[in-house]
Structure 1
Amino acid sequence: MADNPVTEPRSRRRFSDATALAAALRPSYPVYCFRPHKVRAVARHFVETFPGKVVYAVKCNIEPRVLGWLAEAGVTAFDTASLTEIAAVRERLPDADALFMHPVKSRAAILAADRVYDVSTYCVDSMAELEKVLQVARRRDLKIFVRVATPGGGAAFELSIKFGATQAEAVEILDRVAEEGLQAGIAFHIGSQCLNPRAFRTAFAVIADVWRGTKADVREIDVGGGFPVAYAGQPVPPLEDFVTEIVEGRREAGIDEDVALLCEPGRALVADGCSMLCQVHLRKGDRLYLNDGVYGNLSEPYWSRVRLPARLIRPEGINGGVSDAPLQDFTIFGPTCDGNDLLPTPFRLPADVSEGDWIEVGQIGAYGAALATRFNGFFADAQVELADEPPDTA
């Protein structure tokens, strides 16, 4: 049962599940469905499993309550890429550590991070960027991570195409960090949604020469993100397999065990923590037109070709109640006037799905709201909390 949907503040609306939500509100608009217990559980497992500091990548989901739930689970540091993200962390969690890990920053952003938000940790991948930080930041207790380009590891999104110094460049930058008397670290990123744990070991083999070749006393290594989520039809190795490769990679590289490890998971921490309740506004044969789509919160299938889990939500008394019809694949269109507002992967739903039914789409906690636009005036801002488990990915 829900709290009173009329008098309760939006941030406190709670329902047992999406069916109770649909029965109470009958929304014609998309609704974000957060599951705080899921966010906390996943984050707690990550904190307990990773042999170092877990630094959440804020870009995946900047929602203040998500940041709070992560902190409650033991995440005390946050990877930020902009002043907006830094401000969000400082406002919600003033005692948390905000790391400015975008390798390319404006001078104005560095100035504000240094003097307004008290940021001391920065990432660079070029000598020019290091000089920028040195010239703008006043404080001299800075910690500088130098990001090194590593080979592609079969990730959905390769990042070393855009960021990362060569080994020789990294040694030169780290030596300059040492000359300035600053703390030094090495960072890399194997790419987003990487299904191959071995990619971490390969990356350590690359940075080993950097670690040995620099005059800097490198005491921290940031292994970045890349930890995958098990989307529908896409099983992934357990987190423990990735941790094993990280630990073994460090050992094989000859890097001292007392060199601390950091990681920057984003997707892996929050993807399962939020779903979206959408409504069917029209059915044309095996085509469904929803009130959310690729210009809204469902862009992840478009970019990464993953299949999001979906289930029919039909409260008792609506369209005949719960359906026992056989399942079939439906092509999904979003609400905008653009013909490209089409999901590349279908939803498998009961064959009698009709106008007015709701569909709960899972795993939008990462890059759902973060990539949503207001194209054609369609957008979602209604938020609730649910107590059940998210849609099954089978």
Structure 2
Amino acid sequence: MQPEAAGSGDVVCGNDVIHGNDVFDVLRRSRPAEPVLCLDQALLNHRAKAVVANFGGEICYDVAVNPHPLVLAALAQAGIRRFSVLRVGDLATLAGLDHAVTPVLRQPINSRPNLRIAAEHYGVRAFAVDDPAELVKLREEVPADGIEVEIMVCLSTIRSPGEITDGAADAVEGMVRTAIDFGFRPSIAIHPGISSASDIAVALAYCHSLARRCGVALDAVNLGSAELGRDDETIEGLGIAADLHARLLGLDPARLRLDASRMTVDGCCSVLAQVLLRKGDAIYLNDGRFGWLRPLDRRLRRNAAPPRLRRLEGTHSAASRRFCLFGPTCDSYDAFQTQIVLPADVREGDWIEFPAMGADTIAWACAFNGLHPSLFAVIAPPNGLQTGARASTRSHLHARLAEETGR
């Protein structure tokens, strides 16, 4: 790929990162031969700041959702400070950010060397556990001074309190007491996370009761990964519900945490995949289920924003039809179950933009058959994010929000 010389509004390609004013700008100037994961920088900045502003406690981010360094840097710049990792290797990326952040080793089962590396080399002071044996291991490998342990509790076990066995309840209570005996600061982390105001009420009532039974003040309550359960649920609504239920129970809303990873980054990225071949109603793309499009079926089944045809030369037909999608490999797994609607005259060389692909794309992509997507594009209008809120930036942002929500 031979990029043009950089100038005003030009694309700059380097280290597998492309910069452009919009999707068409990226495609016209860079002429990529691979699929491209595009980040809408202004939209990510807007969403991250909105999430931070609308939750009274601490917003957390799971690095595995989208580990790209540019995404992590933008989130830290927007005010998100608590980042959880499953791999010790991701701690190096967090250490390289311009803003100081709090790293959390969220993998509840770890090797002893990884615990020591996390604590000694990267200064990790927060660890997730879900078994008493891991508490013992942590005590043996990491000095207890200032260490927080997030004791993980499954939401499904507390939605129906009558179904909780005495053994399960005693195990959590026992871990809280053991953590205190070891000199750790105990907190509770609900997993996989809440999806409604009723989930918040149940989770906080459980944690309030647990703290009273143990006779301690929990360091914090992490409500887990927020997955909006209904179309009318919003991060603002969840924030209000969390604040209300915390105050009713005499809890400090500032000590609540919420993992808003997916709702923050998902709608801010799209995947551009090129049509390699059309055979009737079958389309073969240069990306598939082994690449960035792995979560596509799940997105489409959840009524996400529909894919859009991006043709660089000429106009496409006004008529439309349904197509089956296939990735570039010969493996039977590389076939998508959900059909999509596109202009009827789709042809080789066309590009298809798949919106709302910011989560679970980079982390799941692999190098099967030697094909591994690596091109990353940052979409930012001239004088956009870097120069503050100008009219062009606001128009661009509002247009993308309207397009994504279908309004």
Segments of structure 1 that go 5 or more residues without pairing to the other structure are 155-164
SS of match in other structure, 1:184: strand
The residue number in structure 2 matching 1:392 is: 404
Aligned partner letter, 1:137: V
Output the CA distance in 2 between the equivalents of 1:153 and 1:213.
16
TM-score (normalised: structure 2)? 0.84
Partner of 2:238: 242
Are the aligned partners of 1:286 and 1:329 in contact in 2 as well (CA < 8 Å)? yes
- Report the more deviating stretch, 102-111 or 302-311: 302-311
1:173-201: CA deviation from partner (whole Å, max 9, x where unpaired): 1111222333221111244xx65442222
Contact kept in structure 1, 2:17 and 2:375, CA below 8 Å: no
* Corresponding position: 1:150 with 2:163: no
Query: Letter of the aligned partner of 2:211 in structure 1?
Result: W
Residue in 1 aligned with 2:310?
A: 313
- Distance in 1, Cα, partners of 2:294 & 2:240: 32
Q: Write the distance in 2 (CA, Å) between the matches of 1:63 and 1:30.
A: 16
Q: Distance in 1 between matches of 2:258 and 2:177?
A: 23
Letter in 1 for 2:347: S
User: In 1, Cα distance between the equivalents of 2:324 and 2:349?
Assistant: 17
**Mapped contact 1:294–1:302 kept (Cα < 8 A):** no
1:181–1:215 Cα change, 3 Å: farther
Question: CA–CA distance in 2 between the matches of 1:14 and 1:153?
Answer: 47
The equivalent residue for 1:78 is: 83
The match for 2:356 among 358, 363, 370 is 363
Q: Are the aligned partners of 1:211 and 1:218 in contact in 2 as well (CA < 8 Å)?
A: yes
Aligned to 1:204: 204
Deviation at 1:172, TM superposition (A): 0.9
One-letter amino acid of the structure 2 residue matched with residue 357 of structure 1: D
Asked if 1:188 is matched to 2:190, the reply is: yes
- Compute the displacement of 1:248 (Å): 3.5
SS at match of 2:224: coil
C-alpha distance in 1, partners of 2:87/2:355?
28
Instruction: Please tell me the root mean square deviation across aligned C-alpha atoms, in Å.
Output: 2.6
Alpha-carbon distance in 2 for matches of 1:198, 1:3: 55
Residue 266 of structure 2: SS of its match in structure 1?
helix
18, 32, 36: which one aligns with 2:37: 32
**What is the aligned length?**
373
Q: 1:260 aligns with which of 251, 255, 264?
A: 255
Matches within 5 A, 1:10-25: 10=15, 13-25=18-30
> 1:392 aligns to what SS in structure 2?
helix
* Equivalent residue number for residue 325 of structure 1: 318
Matching residue of 2:347: 354
Alignment CA distance shift 1:383-1:108 (3 Å): same
Gap change, CA 1:94 and 1:45, over 3 Å in 2: closer
Equivalent residues in 2 for 1:288-299, closer than 5 Å: 288-299=283-294
Unaligned runs of 5+ in 2: 160-166, 381-395
State the alpha-carbon separation in 2 of the partners of residues 204 and 3 from structure 1: 56
Q: Distance in 2 between matches of 1:326 and 1:378?
A: 33
Q: 1:29 to 1:307 in 2, by over 3 A?
A: farther
